Amino acid sequence: MRTLEVCLSPELIHQHQLEGKIVVVVDIFRATSCIVTGLANEVVAIKPVAEVEECKKLGEQGYLTAGERGGIKVPEFDMGNSPFEYQSENVKGKKVAISTTNGSQAIVKSKEADDIIIGAFLNLEAISEYTLQSKKNAVIHCAGWKGTVNLEDTLFAGALIDECAEEMKPQGDSALLAHQLYIGNHENLFGLAKQSGHAERLVGFGIEKDLEFCMTVDEYSVVPRLVNGELVGS
């Protein structure tokens, strides 16, 4: 039976062998929810970069610039990190360069993988179908918060394990833990996710609607994939 591992924080990614595997990067609040929303709404491509400066340089080359630091929009950027900004007419047909505190870093740290895809509750079923059809083992890479483990990404990992359970086995205790978290809370996903430290910080910025949207299941069917350094829909 194929295996599904969970890496609870980018600081633990060295414990996982990524070669030959699919890595599903997840940063529910909010980078990967934004990426999924953008590519489902006719954004052409999204380029994840680690540094603000690199993002600004891409802005000079015609990309829209997007992202946050510590949950707050970088002032010089065109967009912040809200999924609703990615539904706007202004982004259709455009390329976006995105730099965020956690999500971009997790993508960069997944580079040894055979295939990097972007997961969120918004495209949960599409991600599970893609993963099952790939015939490869998979690692769910939770972006967390500044290196710490977080509740909402772990909850997503558990949900994906649950979706894939008939054909893929959770491998390692982090995967079992994530699955148990989901089993115990699958009827109250938003209720639990709202308790996370990250959610509390963001609610402090007045964006509870963002959080609720990010916890919506199966809103989109796009599977963002990293191809030549850019995320494109598939």
Residues that bind its own copies (CB under 8 A): 8-9, 11-12, 15, 145, 147-151, 154, 172-174, 176-177, 180-181, 183-185, 192, 195-198
Q: Of how many residues is the chain composed?
A: 234
Closest approach, Cβ 31 to its own copies, in A, equals 17
Q: Using CA atoms, how far apart are residues 47 and 184, in angstroms rounded to an integer?
A: 36
Closest approach, Cβ 197 to its own copies, in A, equals 5
How many CA within 13 A on the CB side of residue 216? Answer: 17
Q: Closer to its own copies at the Cβ: 7 or 127?
A: 7
Q: Closer to its own copies at the Cβ: 148 or 234?
A: 148
Q: Using CA atoms, how far apart are residues 50 and 67, in angstroms rounded to an integer?
A: 10
Q: Closer to its own copies at the Cβ: 124 or 192?
A: 192
Q: Using CA atoms, how far apart are residues 169 and 160, in angstroms rounded to an integer?
A: 11
| Burial tier of 93 (Cβ tally within 10 Å: 0-12, 13-18, 19+) | exposed
| Burial tier of 229 (Cβ tally within 10 Å: 0-12, 13-18, 19+) | exposed
Closest approach, Cβ 177 to its own copies, in A, equals 6
Closest approach, Cβ 182 to its own copies, in A, equals 10
Closest approach, Cβ 180 to its own copies, in A, equals 6
Q: Closer to its own copies at the Cβ: 48 or 158?
A: 158
Q: Closer to its own copies at the Cβ: 183 or 227?
A: 183
